[in-house]
Amino acid sequence: MTIQSQALKALIEVGSNPYNAELQNFIRKGGKTCGFLFQETPEEIITAAGVVPVYIRGTKSEGTEMAEAYFRQLTCNYVRNTFNEILDDKWDFLDGAVFYNLCDHARRIFDNWQTLPDNKTYHFMYIPKKRSDLSKDFYRQEIKKLIEATEKHFGVEITKEKLSEAIKLHNEMRRLQKEIYDLQKEEKVYLDGTELAMVMMAGVSMPRDKYSDLLRTLISDLKAQGPQIEPKVRLLYTGGHADNPKFFDLLEQQGAVVVADNDSFGTRACDVLVSEEGDPLEAIIEYYYQQKPAATRQFGTHEERLARLDQLIENYRIDGIISSRLFMCDIWAFEQFLMRNHLQKKNFPLLELEVDYNPEGEGQIRTRVQAFVESVCDKKNI
Ligand code: SF4
């Protein structure tokens, strides 16, 4: 670790392990949890039901043998590893799970889970891929259906007051995360890429109030000890489902540091807050439908996404971007194509990786990153 901090240690442990001790302690004390997919599930609605939303992932999976019977080889490995963990009863602690139409691969987790005796899913949301007045009305109906299903499943009433409290809780977490990212804008930075990714991943893997407490302590530890890392090359990471610390370790070599990201659980999760004014349900709808940085699956938002990438390059003084796509993921194939064209026009360094969900071929990734960092150093004349 770059700094001495018990809070950082605890956050890394939570971020690296979806079944972490913080979550298990909460469950032992009677707390309820609900699995969800990033990035478009409106977490505040689950929180307003008195339930902790937990991002479903297969970070700890050691294989896909059991899941192979349910999926074709063309299915991405995030889905197969995650479902393998479900079949291995690792997610039995959940009290429920909601899914949405992220992509055709991910929705099969929902379909297949429903066939199992210990199925945890209780609702599937259809989230429009386009932004228009018509699709916004449809989205509003879908949000209402999610609220009704969540109320029924957990036997609670989701009132406006509870929604307002949930917005405040999640916004507080976003403010603190943003404070950490702001520290990363300085010439010397406070966290390396692995630490940063795990701190952010912890935010979707444990009770949010406890998470904010740990973030507050971490920020005060960081400020007290000052920035410890002087990056020779400042990298930005972007990609889908990179939630394994082993992967980020591979990206930082020869003085290159991932100082920021364009991750759904990173800057995209905290850059914009939900309005705390007016009707809380409308504020949630506005945020997830319109205001939150666009997800890669949303049609017609590519210009907005690329403009945001430019802004991140400027804000964090980025020298090069590393992007990864999981084998078989078509959404990120398109995103990499768009980024490549956009960045080539600016002659901005980009390394595109195609990787397994749980990193394999480490030597090859390491060699490619090494060559990339050298080329960025040449460009900078260092
Ligand atoms: S990696 Fe791509 S294909 Fe797999 S679940 Fe994510 S978006 Fe879908």
240 lines ligand 1 (CB under 6 A): yes
Cα 59 to middle of ligand 1, angstroms: 14
- What is the distance between the alpha carbons of residues 146 and 282, in angstroms, rounded to a whole number? 14
Radius of gyration of the chain (CA): 20
Cα 28 to middle of ligand 1, angstroms: 32
- What is the distance between the alpha carbons of residues 346 and 319, in angstroms, rounded to a whole number? 12
80 lines ligand 1 (CB under 6 A): no
- What is the distance between the alpha carbons of residues 282 and 362, in angstroms, rounded to a whole number? 46
Cα 29 to middle of ligand 1, angstroms: 34
- What is the distance between the alpha carbons of residues 77 and 288, in angstroms, rounded to a whole number? 27
Cα 327 to middle of ligand 1, angstroms: 9
- What is the distance between the alpha carbons of residues 359 and 239, in angstroms, rounded to a whole number? 14
For 33, the 3-state DSSP assignment is strand
> What are the two backbone dihedrals, phi and then psi, of residue 240, each rounded to the nearest 5 degrees?
-115, 140
Task: Assess whether pLDDT exceeds 90 at residue 131.
Answer: no
Q: What percent of the chain has pLDDT over 90?
A: 90
- Mean pLDDT confidence for 294-300: 91
Cα 228 to middle of ligand 1, angstroms: 35
Amino acid at 76: C
- Mean pLDDT confidence for 148-157: 98
Residues in the chain, how many? 382
Closest residue CA from atom 5 of ligand 1 = 106
- What is the distance between the alpha carbons of residues 136 and 41, in angstroms, rounded to a whole number? 15
Cβ 158 vs Cβ 48: under 8 Å: yes
Closest residue CA from atom 3 of ligand 1 = 329
The number of the ligand 1 atom at minimal distance from the alpha carbon of 77 is 4
CATH 3.40.470.10 fits 31-158, yes or no: no
Structure tokens at 349: 């360094």
C-alpha distances (whole Å) from 136 to each of 69, 130, 279 are: 38, 9, 17
Amino acid at 91: W
Residues ≥6 apart with Cβ < 8 Å to 362:
246, 250
242 lines ligand 1 (CB under 6 A): no
**330-346: pLDDT as tens digits:** 999 999 999 999 999 99
For 260, the 3-state DSSP assignment is strand
Residues ≥6 apart with Cβ < 8 Å to 213:
none
Amino acid at 68: E
**Quick one: pLDDT at residue 382?**
79
Task: Assess whether pLDDT exceeds 90 at residue 56.
Answer: yes
**Any bridge partners for residue 320, and if so which?**
235
**90-114: pLDDT as tens digits:** 999 999 999 999 999 999 999 999 9
Handedness of CA 227, 235, 290, 56 (dihedral sign): negative
Top mutation candidate among 56, 83, 109, 241 for ligand 1, by most atoms within 8 Å of CB: 241
106 lines ligand 1 (CB under 6 A): yes
Q: Which of 261-275, 299-313, 359-373 has the lowest mean pLDDT?
A: 359-373
**231-256: pLDDT as tens digits:** 999 999 999 888 888 899 899 988 99
The reported pTM is 0.96
Pairing of strands 320-326, 233-239: parallel
The number of the ligand 1 atom at minimal distance from the alpha carbon of 78 is 4
331 lines ligand 1 (CB under 6 A): yes
103 lines ligand 1 (CB under 6 A): yes
Task: Assess whether pLDDT exceeds 90 at residue 33.
Answer: yes
Cα 358 to middle of ligand 1, angstroms: 14
For 229, the 3-state DSSP assignment is strand
The number of the ligand 1 atom at minimal distance from the alpha carbon of 326 is 1
Handedness of CA 111, 116, 117, 121 (dihedral sign): negative
Which of 199, 163, 198, 213 is CA-nearest to residue 42? 163
pLDDT band at 38 (very low <50, low <70, confident <90, very high): confident
Structure tokens at 41: 């599930």
332 lines ligand 1 (CB under 6 A): yes
Q: Where are the domains of the chain?
A: 31-158
Top mutation candidate among 103, 108, 354, 356 for ligand 1, by most atoms within 8 Å of CB: 103
Closest residue CA from atom 4 of ligand 1 = 76
For 73, the 3-state DSSP assignment is coil
